[in-house]
A and B are shown apart, each in its own frame.
Chain A
């Protein structure tokens, strides 16, 4: 049996070197950001020894940068830090809401967008929200960085597109234009502390008349991985986001969903509720966009 190890690299090169070295020798390494999923797994389902590579000491993974054209959020930035960033919350309210929904205040002190994404849970709250705002994953590897749309990153329940030796550096999001806004809603049985039974993120752009010119809809917890629902966006674009359009988008989400029945909800229930969430989130995004 191998042994556990812990390294906290202080540079990107050092981090990549550790990961590559492990990849090359078939030794297990796992990246640690906030640890709110990793430590739970260590306690239960996956106790196998490995080297834990803490990426919180890297400048890149801790960076939050809001530019005129692009927002960058480092993979290890805790949700609480995002939530306390008023400028970010004003610009991407839906994404920040989603980050604010990950677990308790305590969890938010550690959990990051990057970790939520890499954990690739079908129910990860921030993933549909990131899909809605067309976030792009910035992935570091020994041959440089590569980029990938966030909706392609999760490949199944608990699996992602990272290759051996790679890790997620952060997320890039186009700075929303005027009269654009996003919203995220999820359904849980309690008011807090639950895993989403269904989730939906919506972003919309309106023209001067209030007609929707662009939209993206992401759904979570209703399929093996979070999904971009193009049909839902199509139902919104060109409309004034009236009840009929919202209902059509909701119906598209229900159709796109392929949920399972489990301890958190039935297949039928999830399919219905994701439509309700889509309608409500799209209305919230619309109202925000109109107010901008």
Chain B
């Protein structure tokens, strides 16, 4: 990383290249494609949370006029066990069963059959004509009950993984994980003060506004083109190929514009069904989930039960910390308990700690990634406990965190030593921020909390084309969820030394550009950005060579400065610099079109830390919470597009506050989700929130040419505890469980007698 930070365009906030189409309704999202001859597919879903499928009779539906195809579990190839690979992980066979149940349904809303028909109405009527006979089983809905030795089993072949020896009988505990260092018993003995807490959080959904949708078009040779909203069309292609036992080369995936994902659009649900229906019908099949389907049958994030114990000396030094954490996986193994366990103590330099984490099957939808998967839940527990610890020690909560904060060289709880990180700078900024010292109105409270996410790199490809007039087209493979085209253009413009307006970025389909992993893990600006920069460097090298050829000098006698090839000092002073446009105009004579390429597996994603300050007011008669002010401070490494970095901080804050205050999956005793809609799954609306203040800290990531750290996930982590700590400060009562809904707050206040 060069010291000079005198950037021309990086750190500005220009209008995104795809903007006009998105404010005029032209941009095409998942459900916006209509093909000639298109028919509609719909899914029949289980009315039971746990049942064995005895019989499925599709004959009446198949005979209906206007019905083209009916499929159910028996029509699918047997998917082999094996890792899906890529970002999402998990088991292929589980994925296959999750998108279409075979012998058992494991949650209310689990797909059991699908139809394609001339119209949505006929498809609905066909679904109603499918007969399914179930043997209803007792649902396992509560995480503690699921872990009990005598609990009904979701999967008779589930033997807990990662134990020293394979257990002798199956259980709902799919896997355990432990992290430990030092001697916690001794650590607690050294402590002057010990706090303990127990925290429960129900499942929550990403709540992207666009329901999943796709159009699949299969030809007579079995080749399919699939248009869909996805965070990663290459990985969707891979999953579809594995689930359907197809050749990847026979599948072309085109990523539509995507209306939000937050991790929820990293796995397939509809796409393989649409391919099968389209193959059977020999027509394009369009499938769209309803909002209810999205809640019931796509992956929310885990509900959790977490216990934390922290001991410290009088001066605030933490001597030991332990955590026990159970994460709901939903119907199939794969809760984010690993990252949750690795994140919980990550901000702190601890000598003695122990974390025990469980991946637990319950009769609820299989969880999917949700923004910093696993970390908001576990760090809510730790950051709440630290708030209590600060109170017991009579210490400022920021000072307590500063006393124990990790910095460069600190051995992270998950293993490696941290390179340069920005936690201490964020804490200093929070302490100095006016939001931390301004007076609070009557009845309000202030809470602070720290957030963290690892961030990932992974594989990316990029191509840079120089058009004949010197304008630049960047082609990459990451769906743009939050303005990443603009970031790519900024990095390309900065590297090439050309104006931002001269660069356009587009997202290629799986046949027109190189492989990229999903847009997720806060990796796109980091990893794909790195590929774009390298591809631009490839262009620069080519331009220098062509300038050298034009001038009849050696390549090392040509420099690239301010978007043009210039002769090195001392080289024939009469030579006029050649701009990108000049070189492009003459490209035919110097070797043909200019095309730069890069592909990489980006390493060295930098961890991103945050500190949030929340001011909340509690109506003591109704338990209602108003958010008065919120400040999000985060280390972005380097903000490429400043406004979109702020937007990530603000959006994460809003999601975290929603999770803290109102969002939850509510189930009845039979395992039916009772609030599968935006009316009662209460995400924040505009009038619920104040302006969200942001402060971007920049501790450049040494592994990225411009210092980028991933920035998208960390913002959702700290708001949960910041809100809980603010309610504690406002009321004097610790409410350990989320959401802190009005009935829960009022009941807690009454129980505490305040």
Contact = CB atoms under 8 A, between A and B. Distances in A.
Contacts of B746: 269, 272-273
Interface in B651-690: 661-662, 666, 674-675, 678-680, 682, 684-685, 687-688
B742 A191 contact: no
Given A189-B624, A189-B662, A265 B292 contact: no
B442 interface: no
B625 to A, nearest CB: 9
Given A189-B741, A266-B743, A276 B679 contact: no
B549 interface: no
Contacts of B685: 190-193
Given A192-B687, A269-B747, A187 B679 contact: no
Interface in B715-754: 741-743, 746-747
Nearest to A44: B292
Given A190-B685, A194-B682, A263-B674, A276 B742 contact: no
Interface string B410-429: 00000000000000000000
B624 A187 contact: yes
A141 B624 CA distance: 45
A137 to B, nearest CB: 27
B621 interface: yes
Interface string A257-292: 000001111101100110010000000000000000
A212 to B, nearest CB: 23
Contacts of B622: 187, 273, 276
A7 to B, nearest CB: 20
Given A187-B622, A273-B622, A193 B662 contact: no
Contacts of A194: 679-680, 682
A195 interface: yes
B743 to A, nearest CB: 4
B333 to A, nearest CB: 29
A264 B675 CA distance: 9
Nearest to B662: A189
A264 B624 CA distance: 13
Nearest to B680: A263
B666 A263 contact: yes
B680 A264 contact: yes
A190 B662 contact: yes
B556 to A, nearest CB: 64
**Majority DSSP secondary structure for residues of B touching A:** loop
A292 B256 CA distance: 59
Nearest to B679: A195
A268 B746 CA distance: 10
B288 to A, nearest CB: 13
A51 to B, nearest CB: 17
Q: How large is the interface on B (under 10, 10 to 19, 20 to 34, 35 or more residues)?
A: 20 to 34
Interface string B616-646: 0000011110000000000000000000000
Nearest to A262: B674
Contacts of B623: 269
A267 to B, nearest CB: 10
Given A44-B292, A263-B674, A190 B688 contact: yes
Interface string A46-69: 010000000000000000000000
Contact of B682 (A187, A189, A266): A189
Given A187-B624, A263-B666, A276-B622, A193 B679 contact: yes
Which residue among B124, B661, B742 has the maximum number of chain A CB atoms within 10 Å of its CB?
B742
A190 B678 CA distance: 12
Contacts of B678: 193
Interface string A28-46: 0000000000000000100
A191 B688 contact: yes
Contact of A263 (B292, B675, B742): B675
Contacts of A263: 666, 674-675, 680
Given A195-B679, A276-B621, A189 B742 contact: yes
A46 to B, nearest CB: 13
Contacts of A272: 746
B677 to A, nearest CB: 9
A276 B679 CA distance: 24
A265 B680 CA distance: 11
A153 B17 CA distance: 57
Contacts of A276: 621-622
Nearest to A276: B621
Which residue among A187, A189, A273 has the maximum number of chain B CB atoms within 10 Å of its CB?
A189
A197 B292 CA distance: 22
A132 to B, nearest CB: 20
B682 A269 contact: no
Interface in A153-184: none
Contacts of A193: 678-679, 682, 685
A131 to B, nearest CB: 22
Contacts of A269: 623, 742-743, 746-747
Nearest to B673: A263
Which residue among B624, B661, B674, B747 has the maximum number of chain A CB atoms within 10 Å of its CB?
B624
Interface string B579-598: 00000000000000000000
Given A263-B674, A263-B675, A276-B621, A190 B682 contact: yes
B753 to A, nearest CB: 15
A6 to B, nearest CB: 15
A216 to B, nearest CB: 23
A265 B742 CA distance: 8
Which residue among A47, A193, A262, A268 has the maximum number of chain B CB atoms within 10 Å of its CB?
A193
A197 B682 CA distance: 13
A187 B624 CA distance: 9
Contacts of A264: 680
Contacts of B624: 187, 189
Interface in B54-70: none
Contacts of A190: 662, 682, 684-685, 687-688
B246 to A, nearest CB: 35
A152 to B, nearest CB: 29
Given A192-B685, A263-B674, A269-B747, A187 B680 contact: no
A282 to B, nearest CB: 14
A147 to B, nearest CB: 34
Nearest to A187: B622
Nearest to A264: B680
Contacts of B661: 189
A62 B688 CA distance: 34
Contacts of A187: 622, 624, 742
Interface string A190-209: 11111101000000000000
Nearest to A277: B622
A246 to B, nearest CB: 13
Nearest to B626: A191
B743 A265 contact: yes
A194 to B, nearest CB: 7
Interface in A73-116: none
B283 to A, nearest CB: 25
B410 to A, nearest CB: 41
A276 B680 CA distance: 23
Contacts of B674: 262-263
B617 to A, nearest CB: 13
A48 B662 CA distance: 34
21 contacts: A44-B292, A189-B662, A189-B741, A189-B742, A190-B684, A190-B687, A191-B685, A191-B687, A192-B685, A192-B687, A192-B688, A193-B685, A194-B680, A195-B680, A263-B674, A264-B680, A265-B743, A269-B747, A273-B621, A273-B746, A276-B622
8 smallest A-B Cβ distances: which pairs? A269-B743, A191-B687, A276-B621, A263-B674, A263-B666, A192-B687, A263-B675, A191-B688
Interface of B: 124, 292, 621-624, 661-662, 666, 674-675, 678-680, 682, 684-685, 687-688, 741-743, 746-747
Given A189-B624, A191-B688, A262-B674, 14 more contacts: A187-B624, A189-B682, A189-B742, A191-B687, A192-B685, A192-B687, A193-B679, A193-B685, A265-B743, A268-B747, A269-B623, A269-B746, A273-B622, A273-B746
